Structure 1
Amino acid sequence: MQREKLLLKIRLNKRVILFSQEKQQWTIYLLSALASKNMPAYTERYISLERFCSMPGQAAILKDKDIQNIFQVIPSPRNKLLFAIGIYTGLRIGEIVRLETDQVITENGTVRNKLTVKRLKKRGTVYSDIPIHPKLRSYIREYALSTTLGTWLFPSDRSASGHIERVQGHYILRSAYDALRLDGTKTHSMRRTFLTTLSRMGVPLRTVQEMSGHSSLSQLQAYLAVDPEDTRDAVHRLKY
């Protein structure tokens, strides 16, 4: 490790991530191993740049054109709605597949004005109210007309839970990303795109946090992506 020419060093949670010019790979060193005096005991794992970009918290931000293209390549109303909920509410894929029909549609068949999500936190139960975007509303209506809705918004006869599992949601989205060859994307790209876009639009972070469900503003801020254009514009605003 010491002989390698390191171009980048990032500390992520309990790991130190290094990039080796010699090996052209990212290396993850567990901090517990780095603290050891026994060099052979180091725990390391080599991964590609693409794999690094798709790690949790590092999912690529989707551009407007990417989002349009994804809707075009996803074939069914159900799968389109799965993506639409992610990109217009910022819910995690695990939260999306567990949605119940009455969370988005009333008893008389109309689409609700907001989506209420129940989240269990250390400090207790937290409820997040997320307004339903007009485009999301249209995808909900399209899906409702294409199927018979029951308890679960995304039901599955093959699952013991009664709804599609998270792994199936991953597969649906991964198929669309791969078809468009979108590097660094994963299911978490929907959530990260939603929250980062709101932040870049100037929405107060406290408001964004209300929808994201993060326990603190510091957690949310570490989650958001920084656009180089934003930093350049910030400097150019200086008047002195």
Structure 2
Amino acid sequence: MSLVPTGGLRAALGDWLDHERALKGVADNTITAYSTDVAGWLSFLMAHHGEGFGISKFKSLTISDMRAWMAHERGRGSQPRSLARSLSAVKGFTRWLAEREGFDATAILSTRSPKYQRKLPRPLSADAAKDMIGTVAMQHDEPWVAARDSAVITVLYGCGLRISEALSLTGADVPLAEVIRIVGKGGKERVVPVLPAARAAVDTYVRLCPYDLEPTQPLFRGKRGGALNPRQISKVTEAARMQLGLPSTVTPHAMRHSFATHLLNAGGDLRAIQELLGHASLSTTQAYTAVDAARLLEVYENAHPRAKSL
């Protein structure tokens, strides 16, 4: 049975989430994930230790408690990647609480994260990316809707934006300048150059759009005039990739991966690409070097005479 943290622990969790939101600028979706992960952990501890589990008993948690929780989560079917994410949230909360309450949290903070294989981005080739943009534009009979979908995909690929960032553009952003300011995850702002093709695609959509694109309203609109639902872009992307015979890994986010990989292949600086993508950590951007290495190895194994004979 799931128990809700009460008393001091519930208040502490709320204070920590407020701290993460206000002082660190953590995004709302991340705050929700933190809340779910830590509350689930505290719920387990309350059931594990019985009545009276509060901050005083929290301070004496051991590595055995952590192992019991992780075994419980694995028994519920949690995958290593998901458990690692939950453990990261648990450690963040514990570190903050230990500093505030003045106790040693080594047992919790030293808990090892489960190993998992990091999923590498699956970029499209440059030709496939161009084909996707053209094919997306043919998925709808209404010219303005077709132009809208094409503009969104072109912006994702041409600027390396997340779908949420592209859909956050407003009427005040048109016509698109050569560089635009984007507010990404955690409220972090970055400057992104805009390719002429992306500006042209947006200009075509704006010209055909039947709605008045007020400066304070979303740039990309749904068929009834409201903000465009990202699910619509996912659906049109799926239809286009099936038409082209591309794998299921081709999603709107894959256009962003393709942007980064193609820049890297062209000799782009990893730090500069990190800035363009808005990654908080360089290690996230470095995943693209693994993609490039994997591609080179595949070419080597397919082409090298000795590799074929081994």
Q: TM-score, normalization: structure 1?
A: 0.65
Partner in structure 1 of residue 169 of structure 2: 99
Partner in structure 2 of residue 80 of structure 1: 150
Partner in structure 2 of residue 200 of structure 1: 265
1:36 counterpart = 2:71:
yes
Partner in structure 2 of residue 167 of structure 1: 231
Residue by residue, what CA displacement relative to the aligned partner does 1:116-138 show, whole Å, maximum 9, x if unpaired? 111242xxx32111111021122
Determine if contact 2:221/2:228 at 8 Å carries over to the other structure. yes
Partner in structure 2 of residue 63 of structure 1: 125
Measured in 1, the distance between the counterparts of 2:295 and 2:287 equals 18
Identical aligned residues as a percent:
23
- Identify the match of residue 250 of structure 2 among 170, 176, 185: 185
Residue by residue, what CA displacement relative to the aligned partner does 1:192-238 show, whole Å, maximum 9, x if unpaired? 111111122221111111111110111211355224454699xxxxx
1:133 counterpart = 2:195:
yes
Measured in 2, the distance between the counterparts of 1:104 and 1:197 equals 27
Q: TM-score, normalization: structure 2?
A: 0.51
Measured in 1, the distance between the counterparts of 2:269 and 2:237 equals 29
Q: 1:91–1:200: structure 2 CA closer, same or farther, 3 Å change rule?
A: same
The alpha carbon displacement at 1:158 in A equals 4.9
Give 3-state SS (helix, strand or coil) of 2:127's partner: helix
Greater CA radius of gyration, 1 or 2?
Answer: 2
Residue by residue, what CA displacement relative to the aligned partner does 1:70-111 show, whole Å, maximum 9, x if unpaired? 233222111110110011111111222222122242xxxxx3
Q: Which runs of 4+ in 1 moved over 6 A?
A: none
Give 3-state SS (helix, strand or coil) of 1:116's partner: strand
Residue by residue, what CA displacement relative to the aligned partner does 1:11-32 show, whole Å, maximum 9, x if unpaired? xxxxxxxxxxxxxxxxxxxxx8
Give 3-state SS (helix, strand or coil) of 1:128's partner: strand
1:176 counterpart = 2:240:
yes
> How many residue pairs get matched?
182
Partner in structure 1 of residue 274 of structure 2: 209
Measured in 2, the distance between the counterparts of 1:187 and 1:120 equals 17
Amino acid at match of 2:124: L
Give 3-state SS (helix, strand or coil) of 1:226's partner: helix
Unaligned runs of 5+ in 2: 1-66, 80-117, 139-145, 300-310
Partner in structure 1 of residue 285 of structure 2: 220
Higher relative contact order (CA 8 A, sep 6+): 1
